[in-house]
Amino acid sequence: MTDTAEAQASLEAVLKDEIVRMYQEVADNPKGTFHFFHGREAAELFGYAPEWLGRAPADAVASFAGVGNPHERSDLKAGETVLDLGSGAGLDAIIASWSVGPNGKVIGVDLNPAMCLKAQAHAAATGARMECQVGRMEDIPAPADSVDVVISNGVINLSFRKRRVIEEIFRVLRPGGRISITDIVSAKQLSQSIVNDPKLWAS
Ligand SMILES: C[S@@+](CC[C@H](N)C(=O)[O-])C[C@H]1O[C@@H](n2cnc3c(N)ncnc32)[C@H](O)[C@@H]1O
Protein backbone atom coordinates (compact mmCIF):
# COMPACT_ATOMS: atom_id res chain seq x y z
CA MET A 1 0.00 0.00 0.00
CA THR A 2 1.29 3.51 -0.82
CA ASP A 3 1.49 6.12 1.95
CA THR A 4 -1.52 7.95 0.47
CA ALA A 5 -3.62 4.77 0.25
CA GLU A 6 -2.65 3.87 3.81
CA ALA A 7 -3.59 7.33 5.08
CA GLN A 8 -6.92 7.12 3.26
CA ALA A 9 -7.64 3.63 4.65
CA SER A 10 -6.96 4.80 8.18
CA LEU A 11 -9.12 7.93 7.75
CA GLU A 12 -11.87 5.75 6.27
CA ALA A 13 -11.77 3.45 9.32
CA VAL A 14 -12.08 6.41 11.68
CA LEU A 15 -14.93 7.78 9.57
CA LYS A 16 -16.77 4.45 9.63
CA ASP A 17 -16.64 4.40 13.46
CA GLU A 18 -17.96 7.97 13.59
CA ILE A 19 -20.79 7.17 11.13
CA VAL A 20 -21.83 4.13 13.17
CA ARG A 21 -21.71 6.19 16.38
CA MET A 22 -23.60 9.19 14.99
CA TYR A 23 -26.55 7.39 13.35
CA GLN A 24 -26.79 4.87 16.20
CA GLU A 25 -27.13 7.87 18.51
CA VAL A 26 -29.95 9.33 16.37
CA ALA A 27 -31.75 5.97 16.46
CA ASP A 28 -31.21 5.38 20.18
CA ASN A 29 -31.77 8.92 21.34
CA PRO A 30 -33.86 10.75 18.71
CA LYS A 31 -34.72 13.54 21.15
CA GLY A 32 -31.01 14.41 21.46
CA THR A 33 -29.48 17.51 19.93
CA PHE A 34 -27.97 17.08 16.48
CA HIS A 35 -26.74 19.70 14.05
CA PHE A 36 -28.87 18.29 11.23
CA PHE A 37 -32.61 17.95 10.82
CA HIS A 38 -33.94 14.53 11.72
CA GLY A 39 -37.08 12.72 12.77
CA ARG A 40 -40.62 13.91 11.98
CA GLU A 41 -39.55 17.54 11.66
CA ALA A 42 -37.14 16.63 8.84
CA ALA A 43 -39.58 14.29 7.11
CA GLU A 44 -42.30 16.97 7.13
CA LEU A 45 -39.83 19.54 5.82
CA PHE A 46 -38.92 17.22 2.92
CA GLY A 47 -42.58 16.68 1.99
CA TYR A 48 -43.20 13.16 3.29
CA ALA A 49 -46.94 12.53 3.11
CA PRO A 50 -48.67 12.83 6.50
CA GLU A 51 -50.33 9.45 5.92
CA TRP A 52 -46.90 7.78 5.56
CA LEU A 53 -45.75 9.34 8.83
CA GLY A 54 -48.95 8.25 10.56
CA ARG A 55 -48.72 4.69 9.23
CA ALA A 56 -44.97 4.02 9.83
CA PRO A 57 -43.76 3.01 13.31
CA ALA A 58 -43.23 6.13 15.45
CA ASP A 59 -39.68 5.00 16.25
CA ALA A 60 -38.75 4.73 12.55
CA VAL A 61 -40.09 8.26 11.98
CA ALA A 62 -38.29 9.64 15.05
CA SER A 63 -35.00 8.07 13.90
CA PHE A 64 -35.27 9.28 10.30
CA ALA A 65 -31.99 10.91 9.23
CA GLY A 66 -32.45 11.57 5.51
CA VAL A 67 -31.70 14.83 3.71
CA GLY A 68 -34.54 14.89 1.18
CA ASN A 69 -37.36 12.83 -0.32
CA PRO A 70 -36.25 10.09 -2.75
CA HIS A 71 -39.89 8.96 -3.13
CA GLU A 72 -40.78 12.10 -5.09
CA ARG A 73 -39.15 10.73 -8.24
CA SER A 74 -38.74 7.01 -7.64
CA ASP A 75 -42.01 6.18 -9.43
CA LEU A 76 -42.08 2.70 -7.88
CA LYS A 77 -44.40 0.14 -9.41
CA ALA A 78 -46.06 -2.92 -7.94
CA GLY A 79 -43.82 -5.98 -8.13
CA GLU A 80 -40.51 -4.11 -8.45
CA THR A 81 -37.34 -4.90 -6.50
CA VAL A 82 -35.93 -1.86 -4.69
CA LEU A 83 -32.56 -1.46 -3.01
CA ASP A 84 -32.26 1.19 -0.28
CA LEU A 85 -28.60 2.08 0.27
CA GLY A 86 -27.93 3.05 3.88
CA SER A 87 -31.40 2.09 5.05
CA GLY A 88 -30.86 3.33 8.62
CA ALA A 89 -33.87 2.81 10.88
CA GLY A 90 -35.94 1.87 7.83
CA LEU A 91 -38.43 4.67 7.13
CA ASP A 92 -37.56 4.96 3.41
CA ALA A 93 -37.51 1.18 2.92
CA ILE A 94 -40.91 0.84 4.61
CA ILE A 95 -42.45 3.55 2.41
CA ALA A 96 -40.97 1.84 -0.67
CA SER A 97 -42.43 -1.50 0.37
CA TRP A 98 -45.93 -0.02 0.39
CA SER A 99 -45.44 1.06 -3.24
CA VAL A 100 -44.08 -2.24 -4.59
CA GLY A 101 -46.69 -4.26 -2.71
CA PRO A 102 -46.77 -7.95 -1.82
CA ASN A 103 -45.21 -9.08 -5.13
CA GLY A 104 -42.34 -6.62 -4.85
CA LYS A 105 -39.27 -6.70 -2.67
CA VAL A 106 -37.28 -4.11 -0.73
CA ILE A 107 -33.70 -4.80 0.29
CA GLY A 108 -31.99 -2.44 2.70
CA VAL A 109 -28.21 -2.27 3.01
CA ASP A 110 -26.51 -0.81 6.06
CA LEU A 111 -23.01 -1.11 7.41
CA ASN A 112 -24.28 -1.10 10.98
CA PRO A 113 -25.78 -4.49 11.98
CA ALA A 114 -27.78 -2.85 14.80
CA MET A 115 -29.46 -0.49 12.29
CA CYS A 116 -30.32 -3.43 10.05
CA LEU A 117 -32.01 -5.22 12.98
CA LYS A 118 -33.87 -2.04 13.89
CA ALA A 119 -35.09 -1.48 10.32
CA GLN A 120 -36.28 -5.06 10.02
CA ALA A 121 -38.13 -4.85 13.35
CA HIS A 122 -39.79 -1.59 12.22
CA ALA A 123 -40.77 -3.14 8.90
CA ALA A 124 -42.15 -6.28 10.56
CA ALA A 125 -44.23 -4.12 12.92
CA THR A 126 -46.11 -2.69 9.93
CA GLY A 127 -46.24 -5.96 7.98
CA ALA A 128 -43.88 -4.41 5.39
CA ARG A 129 -41.76 -6.77 3.29
CA MET A 130 -38.18 -5.68 3.79
CA GLU A 131 -34.93 -7.54 4.31
CA CYS A 132 -31.77 -5.79 5.41
CA GLN A 133 -28.30 -6.92 4.40
CA VAL A 134 -25.38 -5.83 6.52
CA GLY A 135 -22.79 -4.48 4.13
CA ARG A 136 -21.25 -1.44 2.51
CA MET A 137 -22.53 0.51 -0.44
CA GLU A 138 -18.98 0.34 -1.84
CA ASP A 139 -19.44 -3.47 -2.13
CA ILE A 140 -23.19 -3.91 -2.37
CA PRO A 141 -24.22 -7.36 -1.13
CA ALA A 142 -26.50 -8.09 -4.10
CA PRO A 143 -25.94 -9.91 -7.40
CA ALA A 144 -25.49 -8.12 -10.71
CA ASP A 145 -28.67 -7.18 -12.63
CA SER A 146 -30.94 -7.99 -9.67
CA VAL A 147 -32.61 -4.66 -8.84
CA ASP A 148 -35.16 -2.44 -10.62
CA VAL A 149 -34.66 0.73 -8.59
CA VAL A 150 -31.97 2.03 -6.23
CA ILE A 151 -33.02 4.63 -3.68
CA SER A 152 -30.81 6.34 -1.12
CA ASN A 153 -31.22 9.26 1.22
CA GLY A 154 -28.27 11.18 2.60
CA VAL A 155 -25.76 8.35 2.47
CA ILE A 156 -23.51 8.56 -0.61
CA ASN A 157 -22.03 11.85 0.63
CA LEU A 158 -20.66 9.86 3.57
CA SER A 159 -18.45 7.68 1.35
CA PHE A 160 -14.78 8.21 0.62
CA ARG A 161 -15.24 6.20 -2.57
CA LYS A 162 -18.21 7.76 -4.35
CA ARG A 163 -17.17 6.60 -7.83
CA ARG A 164 -17.03 3.05 -6.53
CA VAL A 165 -20.55 3.43 -5.05
CA ILE A 166 -21.90 4.58 -8.42
CA GLU A 167 -20.19 1.67 -10.19
CA GLU A 168 -21.76 -0.71 -7.69
CA ILE A 169 -25.21 0.83 -8.24
CA PHE A 170 -24.86 0.28 -12.00
CA ARG A 171 -23.67 -3.30 -11.42
CA VAL A 172 -26.73 -4.32 -9.39
CA LEU A 173 -29.30 -2.47 -11.54
CA ARG A 174 -31.06 -4.41 -14.27
CA PRO A 175 -30.89 -2.92 -17.78
CA GLY A 176 -33.42 -0.06 -17.80
CA GLY A 177 -33.26 0.21 -14.01
CA ARG A 178 -33.72 3.53 -12.21
CA ILE A 179 -31.99 5.55 -9.50
CA SER A 180 -33.67 8.00 -7.12
CA ILE A 181 -31.21 9.54 -4.71
CA THR A 182 -31.36 12.56 -2.43
CA ASP A 183 -28.02 13.68 -1.08
CA ILE A 184 -25.78 16.56 -0.17
CA VAL A 185 -23.32 18.12 -2.60
CA SER A 186 -21.03 21.05 -2.13
CA ALA A 187 -20.67 23.62 -4.90
CA LYS A 188 -17.40 24.73 -3.29
CA GLN A 189 -14.20 22.83 -2.65
CA LEU A 190 -14.27 22.00 1.06
CA SER A 191 -11.30 23.02 3.14
CA GLN A 192 -8.89 20.30 4.26
CA SER A 193 -9.83 20.94 7.89
CA ILE A 194 -13.45 20.00 7.09
CA VAL A 195 -12.49 17.03 4.91
CA ASN A 196 -10.22 15.65 7.64
CA ASP A 197 -12.78 16.03 10.44
CA PRO A 198 -14.66 12.71 10.85
CA LYS A 199 -17.46 14.39 12.84
CA LEU A 200 -18.20 16.89 10.06
CA TRP A 201 -17.83 14.28 7.32
CA ALA A 202 -20.14 11.84 9.11
CA SER A 203 -22.95 14.38 9.36
C1 LIG B 1 -28.52 9.28 6.70
S2 LIG B 1 -28.93 7.73 7.41
C3 LIG B 1 -30.06 6.98 6.31
C4 LIG B 1 -31.47 7.45 6.43
C5 LIG B 1 -32.52 6.45 6.11
N6 LIG B 1 -32.74 6.41 4.69
C7 LIG B 1 -33.82 6.68 6.87
O8 LIG B 1 -34.91 6.37 6.35
O9 LIG B 1 -33.75 7.15 8.02
C10 LIG B 1 -27.40 6.97 7.22
C11 LIG B 1 -27.33 5.44 7.32
O12 LIG B 1 -26.40 5.02 6.30
C13 LIG B 1 -25.55 4.02 6.84
N14 LIG B 1 -24.29 4.06 6.11
C15 LIG B 1 -23.35 5.04 6.15
N16 LIG B 1 -22.31 4.73 5.35
C17 LIG B 1 -22.61 3.54 4.77
C18 LIG B 1 -21.92 2.67 3.85
N19 LIG B 1 -20.70 2.98 3.39
N20 LIG B 1 -22.54 1.55 3.45
C21 LIG B 1 -23.77 1.21 3.95
N22 LIG B 1 -24.44 1.97 4.86
C23 LIG B 1 -23.88 3.11 5.25
C24 LIG B 1 -25.41 4.39 8.32
O25 LIG B 1 -25.01 3.28 9.12
C26 LIG B 1 -26.79 4.93 8.66
O27 LIG B 1 -27.64 3.94 9.18
Q: Which residue has the higher pLDDT, 192 or 164?
A: 164
CB atoms within 10 A of CB 54: 9
Is pTM beyond 0.75? Reply is yes
User: Residue 82: which pLDDT band, with cuts at 50, 70 and 90?
Assistant: very high
Burial of 175 (0-12, 13-18, 19+ CB in 10 A): exposed
| Average model confidence (pLDDT) across the chain | 92
Q: How far apart are CA 92 and CA 72, in angstroms?
A: 12
Q: Nearest residue CA, atom 3 of ligand 1?
A: 88
Q: Is 110 in the pocket of ligand 1 (CB under 6 A)?
A: yes
DSSP 8-state assignment for residue 73: H
- Residue 110 backbone dihedrals phi, psi, to 5 degrees: -145, 140
168 CB near ligand 1 (under 6 Å) = no
Ligand 1 atom at minimal distance to the Cα of residue 60: 9
Question: What is the pLDDT at residue 2?
Answer: 78
Tell me the residue ranges of DSSP E strands in 33-138.
Answer: 81-85, 105-110, 130-134
> According to the model, what pLDDT value does residue 25 have?
82
Report the range of poorest mean pLDDT among 1-5, 93-97, 142-146, 150-154: 1-5
| Domain of residue 40, CATH code | 3.40.50.150
- Could you give the CA distance from residue 44 to residue 66 in angstroms, rounded to a whole number? 11
pLDDT at 10: 82
In the reported structure, the alpha carbon of residue 20 is separated from the centroid of ligand 1 by a whole-number distance in angstroms of: 9
Q: Out of 67, 153, 158, 183, give the residue to mutate to test ligand 1, the one with the largest number of ligand atoms within 8 Å of its CB.
A: 158
pLDDT tops 80 at residue 41 = yes
- How confident is the model over 6-31, as a mean pLDDT? 82
173 bridge partner residues: 147
Residue 133 has pLDDT above 80, yes or no: yes
Does residue 34 register a pLDDT over 80?
A: no
Using a 6 Å cutoff on CB, does residue 112 contact ligand 1?
A: yes
Q: Is residue 195 very low, low, confident or very high in pLDDT (cuts 50, 70, 90)?
A: confident
pLDDT attached to residue 203: 66
Say what the pLDDT of residue 105 is: 97
| Distance, CA of 22 to CA of 202 (rounded, Å) | 7
Ligand 1 nearest-atom number relative to CA 136: 20
Give me the number of domains the chain comprises: 1
> 78 CA to middle of ligand 1, Å?
25
* Residue 94 half-sphere exposure toward CB, CA atoms < 13 A: 29
C-beta separation of 153 from 184 below 8 A: no
The mean pLDDT of 21-32, rounded to a whole number, is 81
Domain of 166, in residue numbers: 3-202
The pLDDT score that the predictor gives to residue 53 is 98
- Which of 33-42, 119-128, 154-163 bottoms out in mean pLDDT, i.e. has the lowest? 33-42
